[in-house]
Each structure stands twice: as structure tokens, then as C-alpha cells.
Chains A and B, each alone.
Chain A
Amino acid sequence: MFPSWPMRFHHTPRGSSKSGEESTDSGSAVHALSSRGEGSRLELESPVGRKASSSSDHHQMIDQMHHLQIPQQLEVASASNSPRTGISQPQLARPTSEKRRGAGSNSERMLDAKTLRRLAQNREAAKKSRLRKKAYVQQLESSRIRLSQLEQDLQRARSQGFFMGGGGGAGGNISSGAAIFDMEYARWLEDDHKHMTEIRTALQAHLSDGDLRVILDGYITHYDEIFRLKGVAAKSDVFHLITGMWTTPAERCFLWMGGFRPSELVKMLTAQLDPLTEQQVMGIYNLQRSTEQAEGALSQGLEQLQQSLTDTIASGSVNDSMHHMAVALGKLTNLEGFVRQADNLRQQTLHQLHRVLTVRQAARCFLVIGEYYGRLRALSSLWASRPRETFIGDDILCQATTDLQMVQQSSQNHFSNF
């Protein structure tokens, strides 16, 4: 069954001398071993019997026995890569020994160390590549999930676009940058709802300030994210932002430079935020003033831009109209800068609120902000679905009722907190 066995074990003590012949024998033995399950068992028996004689071999033997239980995948793997330096049956520690000639037992032990190290390195490398593969697969998985999410959002945005009464928003009038932003904004709104629920629960559960701070920081980061997204969208389609086609009609009514007006937000909050310390009152008052000043400055800058644009478009004869168009185009690019600065102002306002107020007050403050805009959005849907003389459909009434419930629910929460 194992014709080469007795021969092989006979040569092992002098491992280095007959390496040439051994390699071929070992080669076949490897395959013989891996194909047979009893291989390891038999190995255990033979070497002990053979090598009881020499003490130095005794060490080798023990090494071998330790290596016996190493999965033979290693053997097979190395065997497939480099058959010559492949493992000789249980002597996994011996690939280099096959190449050496006439080495004493001391150097054999040193070789052991070297090959041991190399094997360890191989194991490390294999482990690293396994980990890398795992990370890559995980990345693919998460990308797949994100892709399916995006597809869902796209479908939802399409269906919503028809309902929200957006004139230019539905259908094919929308640019790709705008469409992408609309989807991201829809998802942001859902996340917003989750964050708000989290804060509400945290406040009612009277969590510690530390825990509340963590939740609040998460909410601030959430707001930072929408400003970042708006920045990206401003590059591709600033008109979409500045005309407010990404918002609901009622929000659009209050639109200032592509978003909410910070000073109006602060004014609204002042009434909702009692009680405040005197220092906080000063802080909020200063915030109101500084936002008003900044808004005024930006508005005047934008007016200047519009005036300049008007002059360019109105002037010029038929001959150099193209030139004037080019100049006008150049001026239009400044629009992006104004929307960015306006968003910067909004972001700074929210951060300053976070700084001026205590954790608890800030949590309530952000809850108020979220609820306010939620109600404004609900108002938009109610308005769009308000009963008109011509017809009242069941579906419209349903929508109106759910919207009403939403408004009522949020006002209940509002009063429960304040």
C-alpha cells in the first residue's frame, strides 16, 4: 500500500544527504497522503519506531509530530505552487533541507528556524489576503445594498414628484444632478425623522447629558451632511436649488437663496426656547443680529449680480450678442458661490445654536426645528390635496386625513415637550 514508506523513513535521519531522491518520493508521498485519510495516523507510528535510536533525531521527530496535525492544505497548496520545494510528507519543516548537502544536525536545527519563520510568514500572508478578500466582499455587499436603496428612492421620488404638485419637478424636465439630489434629500428626510424620534425618546427617557450629547452630535452631523450634498448639487444645477424645486411649495414660499432664512429660524426659536439664562439670551440675540447682517450682505451681493447680469443681457447689438451671452454665462457661475455662502450661513447658525444652549435645550431646539419644517411640508401636501369644487376623490380625502393626523401628532408632541 505504501511501497515507499520504509525507504523514506529510513532516509529521514540523514535528511540532508539524499535530498534529490527524496524529493520525488516525497512528492508522490504527499499526494498519496493527502488522498488517504489514514495517512497521518500511519505517520505517527512509523517514525517513532524508526528513530528511537538517535537523540538529535528525536527533536526532529517531535517537530514532525507537531507539524503532522497542520492541515495538509498547506502541503497541497505549496505543492501546487512549487513542487520542488514542496513539502516532503510530514516533514513540513524541511523544504530547504532538500537543497542542502552534508549539513550537520546543528545547521538542520537552524534551518528549521528559518523555514519555520518562512512558514509563519506564509501563514501571515495567507491570512492577510483572506482578510483583504473578506473586506472586499463586504464592500461589494454594502455597495449592492446602497444600489438597491438608490433604486428604491428613485422609484419613490418619481411617484412623489407627481403628487407634490411640482410643476417642473416631475417627469423628464429634471437634470440628472437635480434628480440625484432629490433622491438624496428624500433619504435625508427619512433619516431626519429617525433622528428626531431618537431625540424625542431620549428626552422623555431623561437620559444623561453625556448620552444626549452623543445623540445630538449625531443630529448635527446629519445636518452637516445635507449642506455637503447641497454643495455638490450647486455645482451641477444651481438653479434647481435656488428656485427651490427640491422643496415643497409652502417651503418655497419662504425660500431665501436656496434654503431657509437663518434669522427667521432664530426668531421662531426665541419664542420656543424659554427659559434661558441671561447669557443665553444675549447669545441668541447676537445670533439673530449677526444672521440678519450676514443675510443682508449676501442679498445685496446677489442684487449686484442680478443687476450686472441684466445690464449684460440687455446691452449689445445683434453683432456681438454671442459675446454678451458668454459674458452673461460667466456671471451666472457666481450664483453657485452665493448659494454656497447662504448654506454656510445656515450651517454656522445651527452650530452656534448648539454652542449657546445646554445639551438639553439644544436637543429640544433641534426637535422644534425638525417639527416646524415637518409641519410646513405637511401644509404643502394638505394644500395640494385640498378639496376643490369639481371633485373630491376618496384617495385625496385619505391623504388629507393622514396629513392632518401627522400635523396633530406633531403638535401633540410639541406641547408635550414644552
Chain B
Amino acid sequence: MHYQAESYGNYYASTVRQSAAVDPLERVVRLASGSAVVIFSLSTCCMCHAVKRLFCGMGVNPTVYELDLVPRGKEIERALMRVLGGGSSVPVVFVGGKLVGAMDRVMASHINGTLVPLLKEAGALWL
């Protein structure tokens, strides 16, 4: 049940800045544009584990924010839930600062071949 920090590449949970934007969505946007691939996750969520494994399996190094471990992560979680309009808030994936979506959208874009070009464009994948 505990995810080891070192197994997911970059793990900036502890370095999230507490200053500036109060609005959670603004925080999301700021964090999302900070790296090529950003995953908002919960350390206890198994589907989040699946999406992390997907990117690592492709050779991508995603930046993961565990919202239960990040300060004021609950706000972000609630904001994401509103954005997605669904029952669950995580996992949510951003590539190149742009929203890809929840697990179903991520998988759909991988199968229909749009995810890999997006990753290459964002500089997350080299081949």
C-alpha cells in the first residue's frame, strides 16, 4: 500500500511551493506546466499506480504529485474533481502542460496513437 518514492523517477512532493496562487486550479496549471509529464495522484490509489506504471513502461519519467502528501492537496483534489466532472479526482495526467485527462482518456489516446506524438513533442520521449 505504500509507494516507494524512488520508484517513480522525479518525486517533487516535498518541494511544492506554498507561496503565490491561492486558487487551486491555478496551482494545478502552474504545476502542470512545470514538467513535461505531470501526474496528480493519491498514494493509496491503485489506478494511479497503473497510470504511473504505464508511463514508466514507455520509458517516460513523470512528475508525480501525491495529493494526500502535498500541502493543501485536498483543495487540488476537489478542484480536479470539478474539472473532470466525475466521481474520482485522480489520476489526472498533463502532458506538455496540456490536460490529457483521467485514466480512460489516457488509455484511449495511447491506443489511438495520439499519446506518443504528444510525449515526443513535450520532450518526454526520445526515439
Contact = CB atoms under 8 A, between A and B. Distances in A.
Interface of A: 283, 286-287, 290-291, 293-294, 296-298, 300-302, 304-305, 307-308, 311, 334, 337-338, 340-341, 344-345, 348-349, 351-352, 355
B106 to A, nearest CB: 9
B112 interface: yes
Contacts of B51: 297, 301
A294 B51 CA distance: 9
Given A302-B46, A334-B47, 17 more contacts: A286-B113, A290-B110, A290-B111, A293-B54, A294-B107, A301-B51, A304-B46, A304-B49, A334-B46, A340-B104, A341-B47, A345-B107, A348-B108, A348-B111, A348-B112, A351-B112, A352-B111
Interface in B25-79: 44, 46-47, 49-51, 53-54, 57-58
B50 A344 contact: no
B113 A297 contact: no
Contacts of A301: 46-47, 49-51, 53
Nearest to A341: B103
B108 to A, nearest CB: 5
B49 A294 contact: no
A348 B114 CA distance: 13
A345 B46 contact: no
A344 B49 contact: no
Closest 3 CB pairs of A and B: A301-B50, A297-B54, A348-B111
Contact of B111 (A296, A300, A307, A349): A349
A190 B53 CA distance: 39
B1 A345 contact: no
Contacts of A305: 46
Contacts, number: 74
B1 A311 contact: yes
A338 B53 CA distance: 14
Given A293-B58, A297-B54, A300-B53, A341 B46 contact: no
11 contacts: A287-B111, A291-B111, A296-B54, A297-B54, A300-B49, A301-B50, A301-B51, A308-B46, A338-B50, A352-B113, A355-B112
Contact of B108 (A287, A311, A340, A344): A344
Contacts of B108: 344, 348
Contacts of B107: 294, 341, 344-345, 348
A95 to B, nearest CB: 56
B46 A293 contact: no
Contacts of A355: 112
Contacts of B88: 337
B1 A294 contact: no
Nearest to B113: A286
Interface in B79-127: 88, 103-104, 107-108, 110-113
A338 B30 CA distance: 30
A337 B47 contact: yes
A296 B57 contact: yes
Nearest to B105: A344
Contacts of A338: 46-47, 50
A153 B1 CA distance: 44
Contacts of B57: 293, 296-297
A337 B107 CA distance: 13
A108 B64 CA distance: 83
Nearest to B55: A297
B84 to A, nearest CB: 14
Contacts of B47: 301, 334, 337-338, 341
A293 B110 contact: yes
Contacts of A308: 1, 44, 46
Contacts of A297: 50-51, 53-54, 57
Most buried by A among B50, B110, B113: B50
A215 to B, nearest CB: 23
B110 A344 contact: no
Contacts of A291: 111
A311 to B, nearest CB: 6
A287 B50 CA distance: 19
A318 B47 CA distance: 31
A348 B105 CA distance: 10
A283 B112 CA distance: 10
Given A290-B110, A294-B111, A300 B50 contact: yes
Contacts of B1: 307-308, 311
